[in-house]
Structure 1
Amino acid sequence: MAFSKMWSNPKRRRPEVEEQHVFRSEWTLRYLVVERADGEGAECLVCHRPIVATRERDVRRHYEAEHDQYESYSSGEEREALVERLRRGDVLLAAAQAREERGARASLGIAHLLALHGRPWTDGGLVLRCLETVLREALPEHYSVIHEVDLTTETLALRTLGLARNLFRQLVTRGSVFQAYSLALDDQPFVGTENRLLVFVRGVDQDYEVDEELLLSVNLVGQPDCPHIVQLIEEALARISLPWDKLVGVVSTGTPWITSPETGLMRMLQARVAENRECMEIPVLPHCGGLLHLEMMGSKELDVGGVVEAVAGWLALMHTRGVHSLGLKLLLEDAELHTGGELNMLCLTSWLRRGRSLKRVFSLRQEFETFVAEAGLPPTGHLRDPLHDPDWLCDLSFLVDMQGHLADLADELRVSGTFAFGVMEHVSAFTEKLQLMRLHLNAGDLTHFPVCRELSDELSRQGQVGNQRLAAQRYQEGLTRLLTRFQKQFEGLCALKKELDLFADPFSFPVESAPPNIREELIRMKSSSTLLCEYHDEHLGAFYAGLPPGCYTELQAVTIRTASLFDSTCISDKAFEYFMRNQGRLIQLSTEEHLQAVIRIATSNFEPRMDELVRSRSRSLA
């Protein structure tokens, strides 16, 4: 993830979405699904649920989670007969479920939904009453089944733990086949709940199938020492059969206690990996310290006038006093929606630094001005009336524009499936853009600053020179700080630039620049017109997975390590949004085990295997 040009050779064509999500006819027999009539994904023949993301892994996971009892129909003729009966609507059960088992499945399903949406287990009583009403009024012949559905608080708490354990067992199964993996260290420094370190793992198997899941959650209250955290990570990795020598990279939030060169967590992880890596080509564990929560980190570097703190204070006061302006009411409602109603200063500043919320503040500055005047607020910093101060308004407009650019970058980094070379491409382009914006701003050119241009026009109509104010030194320094931060936090992955280039475009990669052990394989690949056609037509992971067995083992060993690097912020963003929206609920959880369970359920890409849970429950009661 260096900042120089990613490659000078022509890049491979990015695969279209349709190339990655094409229904295959053989899935009907294998997974009991058919293509939907509208062509948008697949539909299960058993439960008729749609499977929108039509990749084989999604279809397979649904089948294994919900209908693996049909594996007893194994022969070709039996399987074909089963499909025909399912097409006619004759749903067979390999083992008929008792009413108690159906009730347990329903209870597990409700517990899963409550955890996903951050709802308390006490809501189970309301759900039960709703179900009673529906069955009594619409399906009275099935009303008696409601007595088998246990939605008490104690039962739902146990169901939640069972669901989380089931998801973790699936991770254990997948971890045993990972060929390489990387870690993400997210200490969630912007959330109003107790500080916590979330450790995510991304692993890749020999077929280049990628899984990103929560490894563990560590409570940082009292700041446990880094050796203790390393020990917890080691124990969690051992539970899913992952040795240190398969760890190829780490991403993090870049906070000082993680990145400290002497005593930081990253330094200790690198030392731990070095003990097991005498024969590896990469002697130092690469670290990207700015990928997670990048836009909030950038906003802090650019907030030259304390803008976010001031606006957050006004919003917090509006929340307690109330407002008459419709625009401000809608802004507050949006803030409450994204912060779970917790409108304290930390949550508000996090919300304002993320996305494009501050742009709405700029458009509502007249309403803010009226509120501040009516409330008789004290001065902000050294300013008696910031909303009438041209310099403070310039600070606001500059931050709005730059947060817009950071939000665009964050959106690009949330797109998964591009592998890590895509991250390097986006970050490299953004650093070049930063340098261009710094030059333009110094020359008074506001091409890349539309909000600043709007404010400049307003100031010009008032007889003031807006361009000169916006070319102030503090904005140049802010852009320089951000550029320096980017270069520092992404420099740890520069050692992997060759591997990233090789992975992204092996046919244009210079043979003499490749590691000696793969040069012969690379020459053979370059000479194959068949592989070149497949390279242009297939998704990159599918291309490498489909190489002839045993012919490119050294090359695949390198590319699997590269594929295991985090290529997006999806799972971290999912956790952050879950924390922000459900802070009140998470604080009320009684144990660390329950808290880790709901976080695992909320962030997992696995589906709980309900049949497995029900069968294990039945065995425990036998």
Structure 2
Amino acid sequence: MINLASKLNSKAEFFKFYSLALDESNDVKDTAQLLIFIRGISDNFEITEEFLAMESLKGKTRGEDLYDRVSTVIEKMKLRWSKLANVTTDGSPNLTGKNVGLLKRIQDKVEEENPNQDVIFLHCIIHQESLCKSILQLNHVVNPVVKLVNFIRAKGLQHRQFIKFLEETDADHHDLLYHSRVRWLSLGKVFQRVWELKEEIGAFLKLKGKSDEFTELSDKNWLCDFAFAVDIFSHLNELNVKLQGKDQYVHDMYTNVKAFKSKLIFFSRQSLHSFCNTSHTEGDHPKLTSTGACPLSQNPETAPEEVQLELIDLQSDFVLKEKFSSLELRDFYASLNEATFPNIRRMAQKILVLFGSTYVYKQTFSVMNINKAPHRSSFTDEHLRSILRIATTKLTPDFDALAKKGDQQHCSH
């Protein structure tokens, strides 16, 4: 522990700039804990991101109390306030108060050392995402689903009967999930599970004589809203995962949020009737070709359905835009992360494998006609195949292996 702290101090001496991430919360004993993380960058762009300190606040947690703890840690590290570039918090009032909050005091302290230095204060992007629930207006979906899950899982006997019922019907899942109101994003997983088991749940309710209490499961309009909720919470969960973890850079987060905002606009224009499946016809082929050749300019709404969301991610990533302009199209698609862009990669493979013309056939026919002339008509088919293969291949034969094989052959006398 001492060694690690010493190493961090050594690295901190060379920080050109540094940022702080602060989060204040109560532990199991209701003691307020202030967690401080630091990320610094040296002159040669070496980035260090480490846990800096945990400060217990057993008394008041006013802005001045938090500032005193942070200030003590910064001065102990011998860090200059004028090098502080950013502070990110969860947006709580004692941290962000306009006049007496922690951030106001930090800004004043930085200006004492350097009046021209402005600290960038950010509200934790993950916390902002969690606020989305309050404006989704999906209570007419959330409440029945939570009620349904509680009905099945609240009583031990009924819960066991439901599990047995799922086993007997060979369902894909063997239970429902609980929703934690503390971690609201768990609602996405709950929704997904209920959606996948909706047929079995309906049958179980009918068996128990409770179908009348959950009429939503037979209401097509409600099911459409439910399907939308399943999708939107799934995408929120996906965004949440992308925003988590150490070594996350702001530009990457911005890319992910920008892509998600574009997806929201896209979702708002799409039909919510998830029960309808559209089949691809020959009229879809131009969409495939256009998407494959010009992925950055292709309108996601007119692209094949399976690549629409991936196109939004692709078009929102400026790093990939630069790569697209510097690489051959095949190399560009080969460079795409398979886990992130599986459908685009697959679509590109399908396009690239198509023949654009019959030139190769005509070329081969020419070779055949030249070799199988009237005076060489005695060529066997095997001979001709060999000639055509040699004439048209781009592969390089293993001449060493062929030479060794030739050495082993002996002519008969």
TM-score normalised to structure 2 length: 0.51
- Give the counterpart of 2:273 among 453, 461, 466: 453
Q: Encode CA deviations 1:379-407: one digit per residue, 9 max, x unaligned.
A: 8xxxx755455555444332222223333
Contact 1:309 1:349 in 2 (8 A): no
> Any idea what SS the aligned residue of 2:52 has?
strand
- 1:501-520 correspondence to structure 2 within 5 Å: none
Aligned-partner Cα distance in 2 for 1:219–1:316: 37
User: Are 2:112 and 1:249 aligned?
Assistant: no
Q: In 2 relative to 1, CA 176–430 (structure 1 residues): closer, same or farther, beyond 3 Å?
A: same
Structure 2: which 5+ runs fail to align? 167-171, 278-317, 323-413
Cα 1:209–1:401 change in 2 (3 A) is same
Quick one: which of 247, 259, 263 aligns to 1:433?
Answer: 263
Query: Cα 1:432–1:227, aligned 2, differ >3 Å: closer, same or farther?
Result: same
- Give, in whole Å, the separation in 2 of the partners of 1:193 and 1:371: 42
Alignment match, 1:351: 186
Q: In structure 1, what is the equivalent of residue 45 of structure 2?
A: 208
**Paired residue for 1:361, among 186, 191, 194?**
194
The one-letter code of the counterpart of 1:233 is V
* Separation in 2, partners of 1:175, 1:247: 12
What residue in structure 2 maps to residue 292 of structure 1?
A: 126
User: CA contact under 8 A between 2:61 and 2:94: conserved in structure 1?
Assistant: no
Indicate conservation of the 8 Å contact 1:178/1:206, yes or no. Answer: yes
CA contact (8 A) 1:179 1:246 kept: yes
What is the CA distance between 1:273 and its match in structure 2? 2.8
The alignment status of 1:400 with 2:230, answered yes or no, reads: yes
Aligned CA distance change for structure 1 residues 184 and 329 (closer, same or farther; 3 Å): farther
- Identical amino acids, percent of aligned pairs: 25
1:157 maps to which residue?
none
Letter in 1 for 2:83: K
Q: Which amino acid in 2 is paired with 1:361?
A: V
Supply the AA of the counterpart residue of 1:346: R
1:522-561 counterparts in 2 under 5 A?
A: none
Give the Å deviation of 1:238: 2.1
Map 1:304-453 → 2, pairs under 5 A: 304-305=138-139, 307-308=141-142, 311=145, 315=149, 318=153, 321=156, 322-323=159-160, 324-325=162-163, 326=166, 329-332=174-177, 345-347=180-182, 349-352=184-187, 356-369=189-202, 374=208, 385-390=215-220, 392-414=222-244, 419-438=249-268, 440=269, 445-446=270-271, 452-453=272-273
Contact 1:413 1:423 in 2 (8 A): yes
Q: Deviations over 1:471-519 (max 9, x none)?
A: xxxxxxxxxxxxxxxxxxxxxxxxxxxxxx9xx99xxxxxxxxxxxxxx
**1:610 aligned partner:** none
- Rounded to whole Å, the distance in 1 between the matches of 2:22 and 2:101 is 12
Deviations 1:424-444 (A, max 9, x none): 333333333333433x1xxxx
Q: Per the alignment, do residues 331 and 252 of structure 1 end up closer, same or farther by CA in structure 2, a change over 3 Å counting?
A: farther
Contact 2:20 2:37 in 1 (8 A): yes
Shift of 1:229: 0.8
User: Relative to 1, partners in 2 of residues 1:202 and 1:272: Cα closer, same or farther, differing over 3 Å?
Assistant: same
Measured in 2, the distance between the counterparts of 1:407 and 1:263 equals 35
* 2:136 equivalent in structure 1: 302
Once the 2 structures are TM-superposed, how far is the Cα of residue 411 of structure 1 from its aligned partner? 4.0
* Aligned counterparts, 1:74-89, within 5 A: none
Q: How many Å apart are 1:418 and its aligned residue?
A: 7.3
Q: What is the CA RMSD across the aligned residues, in angstroms?
A: 4.2
Which amino acid in the other structure matches residue 130 of structure 2? M
Compared with structure 1, are the counterparts of its residues 257 and 303 closer, same or farther at alpha carbon in structure 2 (3 Å cutoff)?
A: farther
2:19 corresponds in structure 1 to 182
User: How many residues are paired up?
Assistant: 267
User: Which amino acid in 1 is paired with 2:122?
Assistant: C
The gaps in structure 1 that reach 5 residues or longer are 1-162, 336-342, 447-451, 458-500, 506-622
Among 47, 64, 70, the residue aligned to 1:227: 64
Amino acid at match of 1:245: S
Query: Residues 243 and 386 from structure 1, CA distance in 2 versus in 1: closer, same or farther, beyond 3 angstroms?
Result: farther
- Evaluate the alpha carbon distance shift between residue 363 and residue 225 of structure 1 in structure 2; reply closer, same or farther with a 3 A threshold: same
Distance 1:296 1:456, change over 3 A: farther
Q: Which amino acid aligns with 2:263?
A: K
Q: Tell me, what secondary structure is at the counterpart of 1:213?
A: strand
SS in 1 for 2:15: coil
- Cα deviation 1:542-578 (Å, max 9, x = unaligned): xxxxxxxxxxxxxxxxxxxxxxxxxxxxxxxxxxxxx
Amino acid at match of 2:265: Q
The one-letter code sitting in structure 1 at the alignment partner of 2:108 is A
Q: Which letter maps to 1:185?
A: L
The corresponding residue for 2:378 is: none
In structure 1, C-alpha distance between the alignment counterparts of 2:105 and 2:155, rounded to whole Å: 46
Q: 1:199·1:214 contact (CA, 8 Å) conserved in 2?
A: yes
The 5-angstrom pairing of residues 64-75 of structure 1 reads none
Q: Can you list the C-alpha shifts for 1:14-43, whole angstroms capped at 9, x where unaligned?
A: xxxxxxxxxxxxxxxxxxxxxxxxxxxxxx
- Residues of 2 paired with 1:167 and 1:236: CA distance? 16
CA contact under 8 A between 2:64 and 2:100: conserved in structure 1?
Answer: no
Deviation of 1:304 (Å) = 2.6
- Which has the higher mean CA deviation after the structures are superposed, 241-250 or 304-313? 304-313
Conservation of the 8 A alpha-carbon contact between 1:257 and 1:265 = yes
Instruction: Check 1:260–1:166 CA distance in 2 against 1; reply closer, same or farther (3 A cut).
Output: same
Report the AA paired with residue 107 of structure 2: Q
The one-letter amino acid of 2:76's match is R
8 A contact 1:305–1:392 mirrored in 2 = no
Give, in angstroms, the shift of residue 232 of structure 1.
0.8
Shift, 1:365, TM fit = 3.0
Distance 1:346 1:434, change over 3 A: closer
Summarize the alignment of residues 112-131 of structure 1 with structure 2, pairs less than 5 Å apart. Answer: none
